[in-house]
Structure 1
Amino acid sequence: MLGAFGTRRSTALYLAAWALLGVLLAGLMVAAGGAPWSASLPFAVPLALAYGCASGFSAYYLCRAYPLATRSLGTVLGVFTCSAVCAGALWAAAGNGFAESLRPLVPGLPPMTRPFVALMFGLGVILYGLTAVAHYLALEFERARSLERRELEMKIAAQEAELRMLRTQIDPHFLFNSLNSISALTSIDPAAARGMTLQLSNFLRRSLGMDAQRKVALDEEIVLVRAFLAIEQVRFGARLRFEHLIGEGAGQCLLPPMLLQPLVENAVKHGIGNRLDGGTVSIAAERAGALLRIRVENDADWDDASQPAAGCGIGLANVRQRLLATYAHAASVHWTRHDARFRVDIALPAESEPEKEK
Structure 2
Amino acid sequence: MQGPLSTRRSMTLYLMVWLMLGLVLTGLVVSSTGAGWINGLLFALPMTVVYAFATGFSAYYLCRAYPLSQKGIGPILMVLGVAALVSGLLWTAAGVALNSLWWSLEVEWAGFAISPALKAMIFGLGTILYGLSAVAHYLAIEFDRARLAERRELESKLMAQEAELRMLRTQIDPHFLFNSLNSISALTSVNPAGAREMTLKVANFFRHTLGLEAHTKATVDDEVKLVRDFLAIEKVRFGSRLRVECDIDDDARPCLLPPMILQPLVENAVKHGIGNLTGGGVVSVAARRDASLLRLSVENDVDEDMPAAPGTGIGLANVQQRLATAYGHEGRVVQLRRDNKYRVELTLPAQTTREQ
**TM-score relative to the length of structure 1:** 0.83
Deviations 1:220-267 (A, max 9, x none): 222222222222222333333222121121111122222222332333
In the TM superposition, residue 348 of structure 1 has moved relative to its aligned partner by 1.9
Q: Which moved further from structure 2: 40-49 or 138-147?
A: 138-147
Match of residue 164 from structure 2: 162
Match of residue 247 from structure 1: 249
Match of residue 19 from structure 2: 19
| Amino acid paired to 2:178 | L
Match of residue 257 from structure 1: 259
- For 2:268 and 2:131, the matched residues in 1 are separated by 70
- For 1:35 and 1:212, the matched residues in 2 are separated by 69
In the TM superposition, residue 345 of structure 1 has moved relative to its aligned partner by 2.0
Contact 1:218 1:251 in 2 (8 A): yes
- For 1:23 and 1:314, the matched residues in 2 are separated by 68
Match of residue 326 from structure 1: 326
* Structure 2 alignment gaps of length 5 or more: none
Q: 1:54 to 1:293 in 2, by over 3 A?
A: same
Match of residue 41 from structure 2: 41
Q: Which moved further from structure 2: 246-255 or 277-286?
A: 277-286
Deviations 1:126-179 (A, max 9, x none): 332332333233333333443344344334433443343234323xx1x31341
- For 1:75 and 1:236, the matched residues in 2 are separated by 76
* Structure 1 alignment gaps of length 5 or more: none
Matches within 5 A, 1:10-159: 10-71=10-71, 73=73, 75-103=75-103, 104=105, 105-107=107-109, 109-159=111-161
Number of residue pairs matched?
351
Match of residue 180 from structure 1: 179
| Amino acid paired to 1:206 | H
Contact 1:267 1:298 in 2 (8 A): yes
- For 1:70 and 1:275, the matched residues in 2 are separated by 65
- For 2:200 and 2:13, the matched residues in 1 are separated by 68
- For 1:78 and 1:198, the matched residues in 2 are separated by 75
Contact 2:227 2:263 in 1 (8 A): yes
State the Cα RMSD in Å: 3.1
- For 1:69 and 1:317, the matched residues in 2 are separated by 38
In the TM superposition, residue 69 of structure 1 has moved relative to its aligned partner by 4.2
Contact 1:214 1:256 in 2 (8 A): yes
Contact 1:247 1:286 in 2 (8 A): yes
Aligned pair partner of 1:296 in 280, 295, 298: 298
Q: 1:229 to 1:100 in 2, by over 3 A?
A: same
Q: 1:248 to 1:115 in 2, by over 3 A?
A: same
Contact 2:304 2:339 in 1 (8 A): no
Q: Percent identity?
A: 52
Contact 1:185 1:235 in 2 (8 A): no
What SS is found at the alignment partner of 1:259?
coil
What SS is found at the alignment partner of 1:31?
helix
| Amino acid paired to 2:159 | A
